[in-house]
Every structure is written in structure tokens, then in C-alpha cells.
């Protein structure tokens, strides 16, 4: 797998444009700012708007449990809280990408 790091403080538009330009299969965002309920849905909206809905989106960071089901219903494939083992994330990503 190849990882493309776009840096900190990217806008949803910048994230989606970079993902499309680079031809990625998955976007992964870690967020600590509390802006997940606006940032994540905007990424999903832009992916769909730009006909890139086949790009998977996963997330991690400080996300309250009560927001997780809403975000998943909107299209976030999985959310990994801070205590998630790296092996679990890698396993999920491998299975997700193998199934597409």
C-alpha cells in the first residue's frame, strides 16, 4: 500500500481533490478538533458530488460514541477511537479493499 499524507489543516475540498488526483482507494482522517460532524459529512458530500463515491472513508480520533452511528449512516465506513490497536485498523482496511 502507498500512503499519501496531505498535511495538517486541510479543508474537505483539499482532501477530496487530492484523493481524486492521486487515484486513492481510501481516505483516512484523524481528528481531534471536535469538527467531525461538519468535516466528515462534507468530505462524503464532495466525494459523491465529484463522482468519487467509490473512494472509501474511515476516521479516527476523539469522536463521541453518540456521533458514531450518525457518521456511519452518512457514509463513514468505520471509526476508530484512540485506544484502537493499529493491527485492527490494518486488518479492517485490508478486508475493505479486498472486497472492492
Q: Where are the domains of the chain?
A: 12-98
Kindly give the pairing relationship between strand 56-61 and strand 26-31. Answer: parallel
Residue 79 has pLDDT above 90, yes or no: yes
Q: Is the pLDDT of residue 84 over 90?
A: yes
**Can you tell me the distance from the alpha carbon of 45 to that of 82, in angstroms, rounded to the nearest whole number?**
25
Overall fold of domain 12-98: Rossmann fold (3.40.50)
Which band of pLDDT confidence, cut at 50, 70 and 90, is reported for residue 100? confident
The whole-number average pLDDT for the span 16-34 is: 96
Question: Which of 10, 13, 5, 14 is closest to 45 using CA atoms?
Answer: 13
Amino acid at each position: 500500500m502507498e500512503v499519501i499524507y496531505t498535511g495538517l489543516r486541510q479543508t474537505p475540498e483539499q482532501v477530496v481533490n487530492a484523493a481524486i488526483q492521486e487515484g486513492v482507494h481510501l481516505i483516512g482522517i484523524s481528528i481531534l478538533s471536535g469538527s467531525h460532524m461538519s468535516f466528515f459529512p462534507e468530505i462524503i458530500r464532495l466525494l459523491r458530488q465529484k463522482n468519487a463515491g467509490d473512494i472509501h472513508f474511515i476516521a479516527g480520533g476523539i469522536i463521541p460514541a453518540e456521533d458514531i452511528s450518525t457518521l456511519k449512516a452518512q457514509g463513514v465506513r468505520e471509526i476508530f477511537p484512540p485506544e484502537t490497536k493499529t493491527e485492527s485498523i490494518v486488518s479492517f482496511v485490508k478486508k475493505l479493499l479486498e472486497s472492492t
